[in-house]
Amino acid sequence: MAVAQDLPEDILYPIFLHALPCEIPWPLTPSSLQSLPPFNFSLVCRSWRLVTLTRPRLWSSLSSSTIDRGHYPLINSLLEYWFLRGAAAPLDLYFGKIFRPTPEAPKDLLNLVLRETYRWNEIQMDVTPIPEDTTNSPLTFRCSTLIKSLKLLSGYVYDMANDLMFGRLDLTQCTVHVASQLQVLEVCAFIRWTLPESGTFWLPNLRYLNISIDRDIKVDVILAACPNISSLIIEIRPSASHGHMESVNLPHLTNFILSTENDAFTNSLLTRLSCTSLVRFVYNSWDWVFKLHILADFLSKLENPSGCSSLEELKIVHRGVNRIPLESQSEFALMLKNMLNPHGNLKQLLLNDVFINKEIIEILSPRSGAMHVCPSLTSIFIACHLPASGDLGFNETLEEFVVSRWHSRNGNLAIELRFNSFKNFSEESQRIRKCVEEGLVRELGITDFYLDLIDGIECRRLCMSDRSVR
């Protein structure tokens, strides 16, 4: 310890920085505060205390997984001291679940945070909404031009019976006249938006956008203000209303995840959205009846002048009825074929509870001497809980699909087919067994839990894997 006490300030300072961000313990007590860095550094010796109290950046990062009702008096005092020591240093805050036993409970705490808006660098909060009519003076999160990452999240289960909100997001400073530094923006449905006057909203540095829509939000204005985003996640709630939308072009968008419970809003959005560099598209539909033409029209816009597209990963998860009237099944199959045909670079295909019958499997099966659909596929997952029971020889058609895909592959291949009667059939199939012996992977490790989260935590991680901001 004596040697450590003699270390010069220029060595102590980066060592102290490496111990941050500080994680507030639970339960929070006055004694537990003393064990937090950089508090505990200042207790060692005079030289350590001097470094701790004179370097604002040591007091600029704070994290807490939970802020419960018992936290408020003590954590308010902690924040006041923390912000005082941090002076004007850029501020990083990561707050997990903020419980609101009453509408006013965490307001003092959050008002302390809002008072430091000019210092915000990275802010993340998981908020609990309340009925809007009980919020006489809603909290306003003003997005300064210096902040780089702002996440206002909520794990609260959506309830259409209540008009819920948590606060407002004020983006009026983010205009064409100011170079906003915002790179990451994630906003739950319980935050109301306040935008600059028409035509001036501008977020040129934004790379990742995740928004949830439950009412009339000018989503076209928001997207048009972010021409350089590469990752986009949109959740459309049943109550979302769409008035007139302008066309939007996102030339740098490569990852797009869309989860929807509103067919009309989705159709309006995808009709007006263009993103010719798209590499990954995940579509999660909770609509009762699946509307393939909406996706087909959108994906057709991904084609470049040569007739191909950059799309490499397509995942379609449907939660409603997957039955198609008999007289419409051939039309549906042809539409699916025409939708997939241009995407010759597609590597991964996932179809979950999209209508599948024998004709569709035959369309997806390579044929000798003919061009086949999506020849570059290396990963295929198809699940359908209610396949067309009247299709005689359906299992044999699935078998031929697996074998023909394996023999026409270029490299490794994984195929998982989930149909009620196919599992036992495939295990007894000598042809499929031979493909497995040669290297075919039959299970992709996709669980029902993963499918439930395909528009949530897992996809958020995948969609953000290429961004540079923490």
pLDDT for residue 131: 61
Question: pLDDT band at 24, cuts 50/70/90?
Answer: confident
What is the mean predicted confidence (pLDDT) over 45-54?
83
Tens digit of each residue's pLDDT (9 = 90 or more) over 180-202: 999 999 998 888 888 998 789 99
Question: pLDDT band at 104, cuts 50/70/90?
Answer: low
pLDDT at 406 over 90: yes
pLDDT for residue 452: 56
Tens digit of each residue's pLDDT (9 = 90 or more) over 147-177: 999 998 876 655 554 566 778 899 999 998 8
* Residue-averaged pLDDT of the chain: 82
d(CA 316, CA 330): 20
Closest CA to 140 of 168, 119, 173, 114: 168
- Conformational region of residue 140, where left means phi above 0, alpha means psi within -120 to 50, and beta covers everything else: beta
Look up residue 207 and give its two tokens: 């790379």
Question: pLDDT band at 286, cuts 50/70/90?
Answer: confident
* 135 against 322, higher pLDDT: 322
Look up residue 302 and give its two tokens: 């991904």
Which backbone phi and psi does 209 adopt, to 5 degrees?
-130, 130
Amino acid type, 331: E
Q: Strands 273-274 and 280-285, how do they pair?
A: unpaired
Task: Say which CATH class 286-470 falls into.
Answer: alpha beta
**Beta carbons of 158 and 189 less than 8 angstroms apart:** yes
d(CA 459, CA 469): 17
pLDDT at 330 over 50: yes
Percent of the chain, pLDDT > 70? 82
d(CA 351, CA 446): 12
Lowest mean per-residue pLDDT among 115-124, 291-300, 363-372? 363-372
Q: CA of 136: how far to CAs of 95, 103, 165, 171, 340, in Å? A: 24, 10, 11, 21, 51
Amino acid type, 462: L
Torsion of CA 157, 162, 166, 169, to 10 degrees: 100
Highest mean pLDDT among 18-27, 147-156, 216-225, 234-243: 216-225
* 469 against 33, higher pLDDT: 33
Question: pLDDT band at 461, cuts 50/70/90?
Answer: very low
Question: pLDDT band at 323, cuts 50/70/90?
Answer: confident
What is the mean predicted confidence (pLDDT) over 418-432?
90
pLDDT for residue 12: 78
pLDDT at 47 over 70: yes
What is the mean predicted confidence (pLDDT) over 237-243?
78
Lowest mean per-residue pLDDT among 46-55, 298-307, 454-463? 454-463
Which backbone phi and psi does 132 adopt, to 5 degrees?
-60, -35
Alpha helices in 36-162 (DSSP H): 46-54, 72-86, 107-115
d(CA 122, CA 116): 12
Q: CA of 470: how far to CAs of 121, 162, 174, 455, in Å? A: 11, 34, 22, 20
What is the mean predicted confidence (pLDDT) over 205-230?
91
d(CA 336, CA 343): 12
Point out which residues pair with 276 in neighbouring strands.
none
